[in-house]
Amino acid sequence: MLSTLDIVAEIDLAIGGALGLAGTFVASAALRETLWTIEGVALMEATELLTMKYHRYGND
């Protein structure tokens, strides 16, 4: 069964992937910067959540 952290990490990974790809195809530099900023935050949050999860299991 998936925990809440797993679900949030999956959502963050999906958001990061979608916005990163969308930012590549946007013509406006300001919008591209905004999309890539949100994408970076989402991917960092997902990485942190997954790191905490596996560290708790003793998988350094």
Q: Tens digit of pLDDT for each residue in 19-36?
A: 999 999 999 999 999 999
What percentage of the chain reaches a pLDDT higher than 90?
A: 73
Predicted model pTM: 0.84
- Tell me the pLDDT of the chain averaged across its residues: 92
pLDDT at 33: 95
50 vs 21, 23, 35, 38, 55, CA distance in Å? 22, 25, 23, 18, 8
Sign, CA dihedral 30-32-36-38, equals: positive
Higher-confidence residue of 2 and 50: namely 50
Tokens for 3?
């925990």
Domain boundaries, the chain: 4-56
- 31 HSE (CA, 13 A, CB side): 9
